Every structure is written in structure tokens, then in C-alpha cells.
Amino acid sequence: MIARGTARPRPASSFELYSWFFMRISAIIMVLLVGFHLFYMHLILGVDAIDFEIISARWSSPFWRLYDFFMLTFAWLHCTNGVRIVLDDYSHSQGWRVFIKSILYLFAFIVIVLGSYVVFTFQP
């Protein structure tokens, strides 16, 4: 309990505040992106119609490539931020926390780079 008249110390940075905002904004963006993706791919086109030709035709448009890139990027960054928060809650040693988070960030970077490579270099 904080004594009356004393203020809580200000955090050194606003990273956690921006992280909190990012989780809310990215969740809204992902609901829209993934919701439209599911609606278009599964209801408009139909699950039985999705094959290599459909994806090739879809990715011939820069719009769909950017759409899928944003969906991939927001999903992985949202996921990485959530796992980072869980790691902060459950890893008590500062050394292990830094090590595990470094592995997490490296893995997220590799997945986003490889996914982006596939999306932008795909040749039908």
C-alpha cells in the first residue's frame, strides 16, 4: 500500500505502455484481416476450390501479397509480444529471461523474414 502523499515512481521508459497499445491495435487489425481472409477464401471461393492455381492467381496481384504480408507480420509480432509477457511473468532469473527472449526474438525474426521471402518472391 502506498502511503498518502507519496507518488509511485515513473517507469524509466514507455515500452510497456506501447506494448500494451500494440496488443490491442494489432488484435483489432488481425480480426479484420483474418476475418476477411476466412470469409473470402472459405465462403466466397469455397474450400474445395482452393488449389495452387487459385493461390497463384491471387498472388499475381500486389494487393494480395501485401495483404498476406501484413497478416503474417501482425500475427507474429502479436504472438511474440504475448509470449514475451508470459516469459516476464514466469522466468525469475534475469539471465535466463534475457536468453529466452533473445531466442524468441530471433525465432520471430526468422519466421517473418522467411514468410516475407515466400510472399514476395513467389513465381507462379
Which residue ranges form the domains of the chain, and what is each CATH number?
A: 18-47+56-121 (1.20.1300.10)
Average pLDDT on 34-59 reads 92
SS3 77: helix
User: Percentage of the chain surpassing pLDDT 70?
Assistant: 92
pTM of structure: 0.82
Closest CA to 22 of 93, 94, 80: 80
Answer whether residue 87 shows pLDDT above 90.
yes
pLDDT for 100: 95
What's the pLDDT tens digit per position in 105-114? 999 999 999 9
In whole angstroms, how far apart are CA 122 and each of 20, 53, 58, 65, 118? Answer: 34, 13, 11, 9, 6
